[in-house]
Amino acid sequence: MNFNRRNFISGTLASLLIGATHKNLLAASPKHHTKHDSFLDIDDTLNPPGIKVAGIKMIPVVKGKYKVWTKKIGSGAIKVLILHGGPGFGHEYLEAMESFLPQAGIEMYYYDQLGNNNSDVPEDTSLWTIPRYVEEIEEVRVGLGLDHFILYGHSFGGVLAMEYALKYQQHLRGLVISNMAASAESFLKHSNTFKKLLSPDKAKKLAEVEAKGDYDSPEYNQIMMEDLYPAMLCRIQPWPEPFTRALRHANYKIYEFMQGKSEFLVTGNFKGWDVWNRLPEIKVKTLTIGAKYDEMDPEDMKKMAKLIPNATSLICENGSHLCMYDDQQTYFNGLIKFLKLV
Q: Which of 41, 84, 119, 155 is catalytic?
A: 155
Closest by CA to 322, choosing from 227, 244, 255, is: 244
CA 239 to mean position of chain CA atoms:
19
Q: Which of 41, 44, 120, 294 is catalytic?
A: 294
Q: Among this protein's residues, is 262 annotated catalytic?
A: no
Alpha-helical (H) ranges within the chain are 5-28, 130-144, 156-168, 184-191, 200-212, 218-223, 229-232, 241-249, 252-258, 298-307, 323-326, 328-341
CA distance 184 to 172: 25
CA distance 166 to 279: 8
Q: Among this protein's residues, is 294 annotated catalytic?
A: yes
Start-to-end CA distance of the chain, whole Å, equals: 53
CA distance 46 to 37: 14
Q: Which of 119, 120, 321, 326 is catalytic?
A: 321
CA distance 256 to 235: 24
CA distance 21 to 48: 10
Type and span of the H or E element at 315: strand 311-316
Closest by CA to 260, choosing from 272, 250, 268, is: 268
Q: Which residues are catalytic?
A: 155, 294, 321
